[in-house]
Amino acid sequence: MQLYASFPLSLESLSVSHVFALALFVCLAIVVKLLAMRRRGMRTMESFPGPPADWLLGHVKEFHQDGHDLEKIMKWSGQYPFAFPLWFGPSLSILNIHHPSYVKTILTTTEPKDDYAYKFFIPWLGDGLLVSTGQKWFRHRRLLTPGFHYDVLKPYVKLVSDSTKVMLGKWEIYGKSGESFELFKHVSLMTLDSITKCAFSCNSNCQTERKNNPYIQAVYDLCHLVNLRFRVFPYHSKTIFHLSPHGYKFRKAARIAHDHTAYVIRTRKEVLKIEKEQGIFKRNRNLDFLDILLSARDEHQQGLSDEDIRAEVDTFMFEGHDTTASGISWLFYNLACNPEHQEKCREEILQVLDGKDTVDWEDLNKIPYTTMCIKESLRLCPPVPGISRKLTKPMTFFDGRTVPEGCIIGVSIYGIHRNASVWENPNVFDPLRFLPENVAERSPHAFVPFSAGPRNCIGQNFAMNEMKVAVALTLKKYRLIKDPQHIPKMIPQVVLRSINGIHIKIKPVENDS
């Protein structure tokens, strides 16, 4: 009996020891695999020296999201000309390039977006134009390009003017009090109002609602969480991220964003149905981006699926408001910091508008100095500070260094725009850099706020037009003043933001003495 009584205990002990042994074996296998991947990555990057990296965390611990991360990138860019590797975790390495000659090599190709960082966008934005690859990307790009023809963009100018004037009306309280206020939240509402009116013929009334806009907050959360997930190595695992509190917050924010875009699509389909039944199709409104999405057909007369339409609406709802909000906010801040250039813009704008309270399509090409200031702000503060590609074949750069197929190339737009070997006094705001004679002396890949080549930003003309309208009407009404008590700290979270907001003061122009 004693023998039999002890048998279960021995069996249990044996099972526990097996479990521990198996767990140890799995852990060792994982470590061996990670080390092998790291060695493979180091061989890939052996021609490119870079800052020392922790074997497990890589350079993740170097970035604190405290407003100084971009300064660190620029410090390394000075130490390692043209390119240097960045490690995120033990096995993921990205070749960070920051010189026009290197950028030209990658952006003149059709190499796809990398399938590592961009895959974190898919649960939010779907397989839209931002993240799609191959034939699907080519097909969608071809089908959507008519949505950005100047005949489509032309009526948008009045709509953006209307949205801007609503924002400026709300600023009257700050003009009277002289108190500092945070720009980004105001501009985000204005650009969201503009994109819903222009691209989707939908009046959101988001600027006049008293409560906080849930879509704006959702986009902010999603950008933060995508950035966080990329930086935290365990979150690269879909399962771990899904089970984490951050994964729950991401899914909640994505539902809010999807509900918003679903409402826009549903509303438009109802309008189209009524228009078709009453025979008044498009008679009372202009053709817009959503019209083109719904009616687009390829050479086989095949349109976009409902899933594709939602992905593209999600993509353009985000990219059409958040990136332009960043660009406009930093533009206003840079003009506040450089009053002499602000005044030259104002003089030019007042002369062109000649007493009008709105901006017309024909006015957009009559403000060259203002346009140069917009470009200089985009140089110093690119709304998208970095993009990445994954090589489908080996690539050799102009200096003979080569990277193999599968390598991820990170294009540091911020680094290119402040590269001291390309730009004299790169941190100084100087719009004269964009005089035609000065532009002709530089590589066209020295200034790439909208990327370049086949995969450049399809909406760049819309974005530039919106920035011109916004700055023209703003400078006509207000003088922008720097707030020395609130200096923004730049932080790259998909788009360029400030960890402590972007604050300015304003003064009505007619009150100048």
For 437, residues 6+ apart whose C-beta sits below 8 A from its C-beta are none
How far is the CA of 335 from the CAs of 313, 315, 342, 372, in angstroms?
A: 33, 30, 5, 12
Q: What angle do CA 451, 418, 413 make, to 5 degrees?
A: 20
Structure tokens at 98: 């920051």
Asked if residues 201 and 268 have their Cβ atoms less than 8 Å apart, the reply is yes
Structure tokens at 498: 């400030």
How far is the CA of 300 from the CAs of 143, 297, 303, 309, in angstroms?
A: 12, 7, 9, 18
C-alpha to C-alpha distance for 254 and 121, rounded to whole angstroms: 10
Helix axes 183-200, 460-477, angle to 10 degrees: 130
C-alpha to C-alpha distance for 143 and 296, rounded to whole angstroms: 6
Strands 92-97 and 408-412: parallel
Count CB atoms within 10 A of the CB of residue 436: 8
Structure tokens at 456: 């450049």
Structure tokens at 321: 């408001």
Q: Alpha helices of 45-149 — where are they, by DSSP H?
A: 69-79, 100-107, 122-125, 134-144
Helix axes 339-353, 368-380, angle to 10 degrees: 140
C-alpha to C-alpha distance for 413 and 411, rounded to whole angstroms: 6
Is 337 assigned a ligand-binding role in the annotation?
no
Q: What are phi and psi of 16, to 5 degrees?
A: -65, -40
Structure tokens at 126: 């779907």
Instruction: Report how far Cα 292 is from the mean position of its chain's Cα atoms.
Output: 23
Instruction: Report how far Cα 494 is from the mean position of its chain's Cα atoms.
Output: 5
DSSP structural state of residue 84? E
Count CB atoms within 10 A of the CB of residue 283: 8
C-alpha to C-alpha distance for 419 and 459, rounded to whole angstroms: 26
C-alpha to C-alpha distance for 406 and 392, rounded to whole angstroms: 6
Count CB atoms within 10 A of the CB of residue 5: 8
* Known binding-site positions for heme: 457
* Binding-site residues from annotation: 457
